A and B are shown apart, each in its own frame.
Chain A
Amino acid sequence: MSLAELEIPLKTKPVGEAPVIEMEAVDKEFILGGAFLNQTFLKALSGVSLQLYRGKALALVGESGSGKSTCARMLARAYEPTGGAIRFHGEDISQFKGQRLQRYRAEVQMVFQDPFGSLNPTQGIGYHLERPLRLHRPDLRGRAAIEAEMLSLLESVGLRPAADYLKRRPHELSGGQRQRVAIARALSVQPHVLLADEPTSMLDVSVRLGILNLLEDLKQQRQLAALYITHDIATARYFAEEAAVMYAGHIVEQGPSQEITDNPRHPYTQLLIEAVPNPHRKMGVVPGRRATDIPLRTRSSRGCPFVSRCPKATSICSEAMPDPITVGPGHTARCHHV
């Protein structure tokens, strides 16, 4: 049996369709410390704008400290933006209160990185699926309806025989199975948006594709708007049609994922692609290149954050953050020297 080869359809954005959810020039600051009146603020996000469309996936690629997880948490309303706005179907989500907020919880759902950490070790799988159904699915009346829905959810994420899994505890399942449970939980409330925060980085290599393929199928079947966060640009290209590369809280390059990996224009993207393990070349030594830390941005930071590591940096780069420049169809990069 040979590997099924299906060209993944590259649908172009339907003209005029509005995004399901978007971030508009969002800033986010966290307090780092210091006394009253003299506090330092960490600027985790600076002017981030992105849009998620129905049935499409956007990959957010970056290393630790880039701000990609913060974006997801802000879309899930775990934090409030310090600047800019987040709009769901046009409405500003920070205005949501009470019942509207509770409904929002079901409209935007998240799958986390650690398959073990995202499940309560003292509760069975059935509990993890029952709670969301009880909270957000008043259409399911009675014990029987809820149980039927739980079984159907488990089957839709590939856990069969579903009845077996209900009673089990998380530690009895493998990493891949736990992640499927987490996906089932997220889907149980019929969300519009699915935020996947590094869903496969803690899984075995052979299991990752299974999970990504599952997410792809569910995304298409249910027309979800998906955000896929990863540090692995290869899986970003595999799973998502669009990709945005983040560095120190800024989106530095954005466009179709295939275009970004074939033709990276921002120096950071180029560095990232060159650093990814590539078995087709033998390890050579490039002397003198030493990676430094991703800088911490504060309120007073100016200019491009990549300036300390960029081979093309000039004086203008330390003074002003470049605006997005179009370098291809739907492909932008924020660099003065692109």
Chain B
Amino acid sequence: MADVTHTPSMTLLDRLDEAAIASAAPSQTELMRELRIKGRPGWTSNLPPSLAAFVTNPKGMTGVIVLLGLILFSLLGPVFSEYNPQRRAGKPHVAPSYEHVMGTTRMGKDVYTQLAYGSRTSLAVGFGAGLAAALIGLAVGISAGYFGGRIDDVLTFLVNVVLVLPGLPLIIVIASLVDSAGPLVIGIVLALTGWGWSARTIRTQTMSLRTREFILAAELMGERKWRIILKEIFPNMLSFFMGGLVLGTISAILAEAALSFIGLGDPNAVTWGTMLYWAQNNMALQVGAWWEIWPPAIAIMLTGAALVMINFAVDEITNPQLKASRKIGRIRRFLARRGRSADVF
């Protein structure tokens, strides 16, 4: 890259006095060095730009790695345990030891085994319900936004109903009507009640996108409506869909845990939520058996945190102002060195 620095003009001495010369900016290469900006690393430039942006984002990658770790744990974790999660495996409330890495519950069941098997169910319900809710929200949102008119009126009414109904109490009512609801039922209920926010966001975005002229151009070209939705509107909606998916998953996991915790789940099922239920029931903390509570609690927190970080990363990628703010520290120091302060940050 050609280094272009403005050399002070000696033909206009009265214009550029010493102060002006002294305040001159460093050259572009010097500036890059001072702000510690490296030239483009090789391998990420081969990926599509949004993927490359995600992969180089520390928050996003941390979230992805933690999530992958949890998923791996749910798949492989049970392999390392010879116990049955639903049967007695040892004495009750044994502290973490060699035979029971995370101790045992009040009933004598191995905590590690429960955690491992439980994560399969919890994650499956969480992701499943999250994905289902996101897809329903997508379908409803795009249809309402694109077709407008009567269809929009009906669908918006539906969305408002779903949004207005208080989430958890409704789930409680439904779950209690279905005897003891297993994880599958809970998952279905969560999916059917959780799509409202996603639908509303996507509807708004679709409506604003609809006024963009490339949609009109496609219509005036005679494209079929379904093609327009699929290939013109949806690709522009990806980040909102991802956001809705991530948030839907978080709320599904938490809701499942909450429902099981208050005893509305199937007490014979093994999920993080039921683990907490039994721990609560057996007054684990009061008895000092911290190992019955902390593992499922930490698992839930980690999952939530990982998903939220992925969401932050998606936000950062789609909002260039957020991305630039990562360099605030270095820029502030650059200015401070020259006796200046920041304009607007």
Contact = CB atoms under 8 A, between A and B. Distances in A.
Interface residues of A, number: 25
B220 A76 contact: yes
B164 interface: no
B220 A117 contact: no
A102 B213 CA distance: 19
Given A78-B216, A118-B213, A185-B217, A123 B222 contact: no
30 contacts: A78-B216, A78-B219, A101-B222, A105-B220, A106-B222, A109-B220, A110-B217, A110-B220, A112-B217, A117-B212, A117-B213, A117-B214, A118-B213, A118-B214, A118-B217, A119-B214, A120-B214, A120-B218, A120-B236, A121-B236, A122-B236, A122-B238, A131-B221, A135-B221, A136-B221, A136-B222, A182-B217, A185-B217, A185-B221, A189-B221
B221 A123 contact: no
A114 interface: yes
Interface of B: 212-214, 216-223, 231-232, 235-236, 238
Given A112-B213, A112-B217, A120-B214, A135 B232 contact: no
Contact of B231 (A101, A123, A132, A136): A123
Interface of A: 76, 78, 101-102, 105-106, 109-110, 112-114, 117-123, 131-132, 135-136, 182, 185, 189
Contacts of B232: 120, 123
Nearest to B237: A122
- Top 3 closest A-B pairs, CB basis? A122-B235, A105-B222, A118-B213
B203 to A, nearest CB: 19
Contacts of A106: 222
B187 to A, nearest CB: 32
A2 B109 CA distance: 93
B199 to A, nearest CB: 21
A83 B53 CA distance: 53
A78 B217 CA distance: 10
Contacts of A112: 213, 216-217
Point out which of B213, B216, B223, B231 has the most chain A C-beta atoms below 10 A from its C-beta.
B213
A106 to B, nearest CB: 7
A122 B232 CA distance: 8
B220 A78 contact: yes
